[in-house]
Structure 1
């Protein structure tokens, strides 16, 4: 078990576990999805991207191959050891203040749904603090039925199964979500806190940080492009 676990977060399985319950060896195995395509279609070619919560570089590396410059941030040094070709910074996202701005700030992995509302505010303030005046923030949200279509599973073509087993209310609008990843030779679990956000609540959270939605990047609304609010 990793040290200094965040309250309400845990993980099991081989290898190091990060403070939010992610298993480093698991994320080193997971294939990249559509994220690089979504990002590339939404931002200028060659942009400098601040990737918040980069993990092992699953998305970082494809973005680098596409010609983007990436500054990759994660609170886990074990995760950052797997990142190649990018500037890396080890820090909790909500505490980050680099004193510089970027063409693009990316907050993926449903981090905006942090169970602790103060952490969420810190994450979005970090996004706003680091995005250039004419830049953008790319945010990944949960799908509308993420907490209700349960249990569910997906068998990946590469040969593993991911299951979202449960989402149990723990108070103050927060759920404790339990996920399981089953490979032929190993199984990992992660338990984490997640706060569902309605469209109105999401926009209010952006506004509080001085941001606003520019447009949705996917048909299901799970990826959003945000910009600075006028006057912010």
Structure 2
């Protein structure tokens, strides 16, 4: 989901166009509550694409051991506790394994089948045999409920606006705008629909299975390792 920020409107913009200040100001409370309920106490968690630590920071405060991964040093500068690793998700190959690997922000809906395959390979590589992957995605109903137009909601003193520019052939293109303190920050986004069967096939390729019973109506998915040897390309890529 490559994005583009408004130059000069709010501090650093990452290489993929993400506006750091937007991620720093938007609350992750709802996501944290959902994820925390899926974790065992004091879990080791690998947060892929952690950004500014919206999820990693509060999970650390709840007693989990976090390793936050992002390819932006500007993002990682806001991650407080735990360990940070600057790297592209698809290239990451750490030596240790984790109780849980988190892929939030609907990264699985970014364009490109090969990109999704490599994301899932990274997840599978870092999971303990009894670990779990927690994946946020845009299910079918999200796409069905997003016709072109603007959708707004308030978060305290901030106004968040999602503008859908087009929604066709399983692809949503739009903009997200954050208004606060007389400032306005905007970045674009693109989300591609991934069917449950497509996701299951990709998970199978990397030795994982989908455990969520009704993925088409769930924003958060759980996947776990299957008891078989992972393909050689996963560990060598």
Same fold (TM over 0.5): yes
> How many residues are treated as equivalent by the alignment?
225
Mark the CA change 1:86 to 1:213 in structure 2 (over 3 Å): closer, same or farther: same
What does residue 142 of structure 1 align with?
138
Output aligned runs, 1:120-159, within 5 Å.
120-148=116-144, 149-150=146-147, 151-159=149-157
Question: Deviation string for 1:37-84 (max 9, x for gaps)?
Answer: 222211210010000011111111110111000000001100001111
Counterparts of 2:23 and 2:162, CA distance in 1: 16
Please tell me whether the aligned partners of residues 217 and 224 of structure 1 are also in contact (alpha carbons under 8 angstroms).
no
Comparing 183-192 with 80-89, greater Cα deviation is found at 183-192
Mark the CA change 1:30 to 1:36 in structure 2 (over 3 Å): closer, same or farther: same
Runs of 4+ aligned residues of structure 1 deviating over 6 Å after TM superposition are none
Comparing 186-195 with 124-133, greater Cα deviation is found at 186-195
Q: Of the candidates 22, 37, 40, which is equivalent to residue 44 of structure 1?
A: 40
Confirm whether residue 161 of structure 1 aligns to residue 162 of structure 2. Answer: no
Q: Which has the higher helix share?
A: 2
Counterparts of 1:19 and 1:217, CA distance in 2: 35
Counterparts of 2:214 and 2:71, CA distance in 1: 27
Counterparts of 1:203 and 1:152, CA distance in 2: 32
Shift in Å, 1:179: 2.1
SS at match of 1:134: strand
Confirm whether residue 230 of structure 1 aligns to residue 227 of structure 2. Answer: yes
Shift in Å, 1:159: 2.4
Counterparts of 1:216 and 1:187, CA distance in 2: 40
Please tell me whether the aligned partners of residues 21 and 192 of structure 1 are also in contact (alpha carbons under 8 angstroms).
no
Confirm whether residue 211 of structure 1 aligns to residue 208 of structure 2. Answer: yes
TM-score, length of structure 2 as denominator length: 0.86
What does residue 119 of structure 1 align with?
115
What does residue 221 of structure 1 align with?
218
SS at match of 2:224: strand
Confirm whether residue 9 of structure 1 aligns to residue 3 of structure 2. Answer: yes
SS at match of 1:36: helix
Shift in Å, 1:14: 1.3
Please tell me whether the aligned partners of residues 143 and 167 of structure 2 are also in contact (alpha carbons under 8 angstroms).
no
Confirm whether residue 82 of structure 1 aligns to residue 62 of structure 2. Answer: no
SS at match of 2:143: coil
How large is the RMSD of aligned CA atoms in angstroms? 2.3
User: Which segments of 5 or more consecutive residues in structure 1 lack a partner in the other structure?
Assistant: 1-5
Question: Deviation string for 1:125-174 (max 9, x for gaps)?
Answer: 10000011110000001143433423242322312222221253698x54
SS at match of 1:146: helix
TM-score, length of structure 1 as denominator length: 0.87
